[in-house]
Chains A and B, each alone.
Chain A
């Protein structure tokens, strides 16, 4: 994230930071900043978990779907229609676009390979990755101008909360992320649709016998996941330059977060996202730059991912599944 947020003042420590016991406020600030970034990772991790729970598919094209949606929003913003020049409106539209895209992808690309071997499905989502990445390059990555995505709040200004100085946009990331998670929790726990979706994830056959349209539930799951991804893309876009690979680091941190929390656990994804966010910030601040430093935080997160997979493949909160032979 430090690499992504390089444009922000104060985000990149030039020198080795003083140890926590010498400067507690810096330590606290890093924790808070980490939590704020973690909300973004949690959001994307949630998108991954949502699909994995219901279909046992890991959607490798998640990042590219979000990227594609963000670019589409950027075009809409540039189109100059007064209604769409409002950044808040854009955020909503990003979610809606992701919703539609997720549903279409599930119906058109994923449905035909349902129930096929893992390799087939992995390859199909990777094909989607190549396709979307390339089409975005084709449509949008032609000009050399840095593409700026609008944010409802200021990207450069910060507010002082107690000991921490927090850029306004990061607060927005946290607020929107948390709101999305709360809404999702309400949907799952207090609506009939959520109940049907949980039933489908738990036992598709039994759910079908109870009169639930399983196919529709899978589409809804993919649509929701696409919406989360789209919102995450629109949230991170203002602080990075918009290019076809800008979601790749985010999705990798989110993979780590999802695996850390347990790939089939919704609370796990949230917890994992926050842990990864905080861990990344602390690592970037308190390790000697010659050996690790900010640019190594992605490899280290990925190493953590591999280690978790080896030591505890179900993650912190994931359920152990029994496989029949």
Chain B
């Protein structure tokens, strides 16, 4: 049985969304239930999607981790990094070198590491690199930090190519992707197994991130982002928080890189290029800054826009399919700019506002509409001088007393903009 991925996504998101807004249980229970439903759907995914879509979903899971890390740094802590691809690349190369070590300079001709151990090594190595970059980054802010991290990202592939004895140069390193463990061999194909591996990593690390960000540390991150001076005055160790944000976010990126390497079985300098690294930032902006869900939405956007948006748009009569397929970034760039102009909090922010929308208030606004319309008509009729009146009488004197009062009240009570915007923030 195979299912169209869009049908699948609409189904899973729709059902979990319904559970989320269902009038049952407490808010907490509903959130938990909807997440469990979503997880159940995601576990069902490898059995109903075809291979291409399954690999895409696996990529979304790994990219989701990278974007989550970047969001911790950029969205929550306000440090703009264009160089997160460098950490991802580092994680990927760590895995490749550790799994492929027989060919590496004859360093140690022992058996390769077990693949699960390399994921942790990749994460911690990237975290160490994050420390090395995070400390000098303390001195930089805003666009300066963006330039510096861009510089790191640009240099990385050049350095990898230059010192190719260790990294395989332009060709990169290849290794065999890990097969499913013996007790799952009969149940899962290799792609399905890798999907579940990435899903597990995503669930565990998303939970950790959520746990970290909802508490004191998460609040410190955001306080530092909003005003360093105010945060310091509240007793937050600004430097420590900023460096920790870099380290944690690099750890996530390193793990993401490791998984990316494991699912593709080859690592070269083009695994993560500069455009990809910029895409990460674009992804969290599209998905929503300072939002865990936003990171995952952004990852989906990064994967699906190049593969699908181009061919879907090409069905429009005035666009040429081949031309559009060559330029997925055009759509991506346009989406980024439009999202930035229209939805500054990204898709997740827009969804959040939608969730907070109170239908009864919106209705109350409409209930006043007839009265408003009547008032407007009346004023228009005065303005056009349609009513008969004696000489010397201004339009004001003609106004029925009661209506003025009710009109004034209605005008105030039905100022829904303020209410809605307050409720939605």
Contacts and interface: CB of A to CB of B under 8 A. Distances in A.
A120 B326 contact: no
Contacts of A309: 139-140, 144, 147-148
Given A296-B158, A306-B151, A120 B344 contact: yes
Interface string A116-142: 101110111011111111110110011
A161 B190 CA distance: 67
Interface stretch (B14-22, B26-34, B201-209, B328-336): B328-336
A126 B155 contact: no
B336 A138 contact: no
Most chain B CB within a 10 A radius of its CB, from A58, A141, A295, A299? A299
Nearest to B147: A255
Contact of B333 (A113, A128, A299): A128
Nearest to A57: B143
B329 A124 contact: no
Contacts of B64: none
Given A119-B289, A296-B162, A134 B154 contact: no
A127 B328 contact: no
Given A131-B334, A295-B162, A313 B144 contact: yes
Interface stretch (B259-267, B278-286, B350-358, B415-423): B278-286
A325 B147 contact: no
B275 interface: yes
Given A130-B332, A131-B334, A134-B330, A119 B74 contact: yes
The 10 closest A-B pairs by CB, nearest first: A131-B333, A134-B329, A127-B336, A130-B333, A138-B327, A302-B151, A299-B155, A134-B330, A118-B142, A58-B143
Contacts of A118: 80, 142-143
B282 A126 contact: yes
Given A127-B340, A130-B282, A298-B155, A306 B333 contact: no
A295 B279 CA distance: 26
Interface in A283-303: 293, 295-296, 298-299, 302-303
Question: How extensive is the interface on chain A, given as a class?
Answer: 35 or more
A145 interface: no
Looking at chain A's contact residues, is the secondary structure mostly helix, strand, loop, or mixed? helix
19 contacts: A58-B147, A112-B341, A113-B340, A122-B142, A122-B146, A127-B335, A129-B278, A129-B333, A130-B282, A131-B330, A134-B328, A137-B326, A248-B274, A255-B151, A295-B158, A302-B152, A303-B151, A306-B136, A306-B152
Most chain A CB within a 10 A radius of its CB, from B78, B281, B340? B340
Contacts of A128: 333, 337
A109 B337 contact: yes
B327 A135 contact: yes
Contact of A302 (B155, B285, B344): B155
A123 B143 contact: no
Contacts of A116: 344
A126 B83 CA distance: 13
Contacts of B332: 127, 130-131, 134
A299 B159 contact: yes
A275 B146 CA distance: 23
Interface of A: 52, 56-58, 60, 109, 112-113, 116, 118-120, 122-124, 126-135, 137-138, 141-142, 248, 252, 255, 259, 293, 295-296, 298-299, 302-303, 305-306, 309-310, 313, 325
A60 B150 CA distance: 10
Contact of B330 (A109, A112, A138): A138
B338 to A, nearest CB: 9
A138 B326 CA distance: 6
A60 B327 CA distance: 19
Contacts of B159: 296, 299
A213 to B, nearest CB: 24
A298 B139 CA distance: 23
Interface string B263-299: 0000000000011001101100100010000000000
B227 interface: yes
Contact of B151 (A58, A126, A137, A305): A305
A168 B344 CA distance: 50
Given A130-B336, A299-B155, A123 B285 contact: yes
B330 A135 contact: yes
A93 B331 CA distance: 29
A127 B143 CA distance: 15
Contacts of A248: 274
Question: How extensive is the interface on chain B, given as a class?
Answer: 35 or more
Given A131-B333, A133-B275, A252-B151, A142 B162 contact: no
Given A123-B285, A134-B330, A252-B151, A298 B227 contact: no
B127 to A, nearest CB: 20
B229 interface: yes
Most chain B CB within a 10 A radius of its CB, from A60, A127, A138, A310? A127
Contact of A126 (B278, B324, B331): B278
A134 B147 CA distance: 22
A99 B210 CA distance: 48
A126 B143 CA distance: 12
B40 interface: no
Contacts of B337: 109, 124, 127-128, 131
Given A118-B80, A124-B340, A133 B329 contact: yes
Contacts of B341: 112-113, 124
A310 B139 contact: yes
B3 interface: no
Nearest to A48: B147
B282 A123 contact: yes
A174 to B, nearest CB: 26
B9 interface: no
Given A119-B289, A123-B282, A313 B329 contact: no
B323 interface: yes
A131 to B, nearest CB: 3
A298 B152 CA distance: 11
A11 B151 CA distance: 26
B326 A142 contact: yes
B228 to A, nearest CB: 9
Contact of B329 (A113, A137, A325): A137
B57 to A, nearest CB: 24
B282 A138 contact: no
A252 B154 contact: yes
Contacts of B274: 248
Contacts of B326: 137-138, 141-142
Contacts of B282: 123, 126-127, 130
Contacts of B329: 130-131, 133-134, 137
B333 A298 contact: no
A109 B341 CA distance: 9
A227 to B, nearest CB: 22
Contacts of B82: 126
